[in-house]
Amino acid sequence: MVGFSAMNLALGRGKLYLRHVRIIKAKMKVKTQSKKVNKAWLNDHVNDPYVILAKREGYRARAAYKLKEIDEAFQLIKPGHVVVDLGSSPGAWSQYVRRKLSPKTAVGGGAAVGELNGSIIAIDLLPMEPIEGVVFFQGDFCEQGMLDKLATELGGRLADVVVSDMAPNLSGIHSADAARVEGLVELAVDFCQSHLKPQGALVVKLFHGGAYDPLVKLFKQSFHTVKPMKPKASRDKSTETFLVGLGLKSVAKTQQ
């Protein structure tokens, strides 16, 4: 029997609700009575090496390795940093950041609990199980009230890094979906204009399609250096990619 945590790992940071899911060992084939589940897809991803690695290393989702690869490429997250995690549930990115802000253990990895050198503030529409040292707000990042809560928690500090794995519920109507993706990324950039250090970094998820070119243009208008990246942990068939913006072109409003 495979629990919901394993299904969550297989799907990245999202959630999947299944009934009567059974895994038959050998090749770990999935049997389900739900017609909504693509059996071949689920079989592939239950055996996904990043899913297996996430389970072994204690991450809630395989998406942790997307941020890990981006961070290692650009050396973004360092001890002492203030990091804001937008669209944080189920918490894999916050878990990764938490380990990067922890003193190194004897085996070289960051600790999942204990002393924390830095601050992590996370927000998501969905609930998130607590992570030691992470301040979590459940609510809509699009609402001014939640932005005010984030600003209050920052307490006048500016973030060193803002990471966003936010994605809208896709309708299948390309023009509408592109507008939703564009809107979320624009909000993340606008948040950085007020709450990111001049030398700070923003990482956002977006998708190739109608919104891609306008968002790259927005990043180039907002940051000195812009780098697109598709981590190896992103599925080959997925159109998702990530943009990394380094160094704000305008000083955060809280510094003016």
Check if the beta carbon of residue 242 is closer than 8 Å to that of residue 73. no
Rg, the chain, Cα only? 18
Catalytic one of 39, 205, 217, 249: 205
Alpha-carbon distance values, 31 to 19, 113, 161, 178, 211 (Å): 10, 37, 42, 35, 37
Residue 169's Cα: distance from chain center in Å? 15
Question: What are 62's two structure tokens?
Answer: 């395989």
Please give the DSSP secondary-structure letter assigned to residue 236.
T
Where is 84: in which H helix or E strand?
Answer: strand 82-86
68 is catalytic: no
What is the DSSP track for 174-191? HHHHHHHHHHHHHHHHHH
Alpha-carbon distance values, 33 to 5, 15, 93, 164, 217 (Å): 19, 18, 32, 35, 46
How many whole angstroms separate alpha carbon 168 and alpha carbon 183? 9
Catalytically active residues, by annotation? 205
